[in-house]
Amino acid sequence: MRKILATDIGGTKTLFQLSTEDGDVILEKSYESQGFADFDSVLATFLNEPSVKSYQIDQACFAVAGPVSGRQAQVTNLPWQLDADDLAAKFAINHIVLCNDFEAVAHGINCLDDNDVICLQQGHETVDAPRAVIGAGTGLGQALMLPTKGDAWQVVATEGGHTDFGPRDQLQISLVEHLITKFGHVSYERLVSGPGIVEIYQFLLIHEDYDENEQLRLAMEEGDPAAAISHFAANQQDALATKAMGLFSNIYAAQAANFALSVLPYGGLYIAGGIASKNVKLFQQEAFLDSFLDKGKMSALLTKIPIRLILEAKVGLLGARLLARQSQV
């Protein structure tokens, strides 16, 4: 029976799943991406796991958080480059597919159950209309889905998360001025991401002249700073964290609406990524939808677009497995 390797490569974590063609999982394991100099090293580590190393891998899909060009890919937030042909030869893998990570997320949507998705806006779904998917994690991914024959979709990966950030009020103008001084170019990914939450928090700390919460500062130093900010906000333990997450949500919704206006996804706009699945209540607040709909003459049009939040954190891995399984050896 054929063995299938699905891999979701992110700037923070790289997740592997080796399974049989029938879907029986042999091993699923996550590694901290920053702990490896290149993708070859983390792949070698997984393939040397005792429960894996005796297997011949027939088909693999590597979903990459970054642009893919033919048989090569570059991870945006890591110095990792992938060449599918080199990897196939080096690790004796019969066939490798490379795809953008949000291409994999888009394909993974059809692998989800009803309880893996929640509705943020009912809209008016059109079954033969495009879909769109957006999601923030270490970076900001976006992909569009075009209907083809039957239940199939043509997925188009994009780098739309790197479009220029457009401030919408005086506070956001001050924010972008602060970030231009710090970084030069300011994209939506600079703000709609885990690192973006931290940038917003640090900006507000200075701009609003807050006294920093000592417990939150220690939590940020000892663990994931974005997760610490979102945790303190969700539990109403810090006013600055709450304001930072509110501003983050506002900007996230605005970019989701920008993408929706570009695609008109009457088949559904899907919000993916670890930040959304871990902060569901933030996205269910009226403020998120109010910001999404705040597009002047196009506000009424945006009410027609179904918005769904994906709860399944491994949707990209599901899509990568589907693509690997469908690939030709």
pLDDT value of residue 30: 95
Q: Which pLDDT does position 11 carry in this prediction?
A: 87
Q: Are 298 and 77 in contact (CB under 8 A)?
A: no
Alpha carbon distance 254, 310 (integer Å): 18
What does the pLDDT look like over 146-188, one tens digit per residue?
998 777 889 999 999 999 999 999 999 999 999 999 999 999 9
Q: Which residue has the tokens 């891999």?
A: 7
DSSP letter, residue 303: T
Whole-angstrom Cα distance, residue 144 to residue 154?
A: 8
DSSP 210-274: PPPPHHHHHHHHHS-HHHHHHHHHHTT--HHHHHHHHHHHHHHHHHHHHHHHHH--TT-EEEESH
Average pLDDT, the chain: 94
Residue 211 pLDDT class (50, 70, 90 cuts): confident
Question: Please, which pLDDT band fits residue 1 given cuts at 50, 70 and 90?
Answer: confident
Say how far apart CA 244 and CA 250 lie, in whole Å: 10
Question: Residue 328 — pLDDT band, cuts 50, 70, 90?
Answer: low
Residue of 139 and 327 predicted with greater confidence:
139
The model's confidence at residue 51, banded by pLDDT at 50, 70 and 90, is: very high
Q: What is the pLDDT of residue 267?
A: 96
Q: How far is CA 24 from the centre of its chain?
A: 26
Identify the DSSP state of 187: B
Q: Which long-range contacts (CB under 8 A, 24 or more apart) does 171-175 make?
A: 171/207, 171/247, 172/247, 172/251, 174/203, 174/207, 175/200, 175/203, 175/207, 175/247
Q: Three-state SS string across 72-104, please?
A: EEECCCCCCEEEHHHHHHHHCCCEEEEEEHHHH
Decide if 276 contacts 242 (C-beta within 8 A): no
**SS3 per residue for 118-155:** EEEECCCCCCCCCEEEEEECCCEEEEEEEECCCCCEEE
pLDDT digits (tens, 9 = 90+) for 87-146: 999 999 999 999 999 999 999 998 999 999 999 999 999 988 999 999 999 999 999 999
224-273 confidence digits (pLDDT tens):
999 999 999 999 999 999 999 999 999 999 999 999 999 999 999 999 99
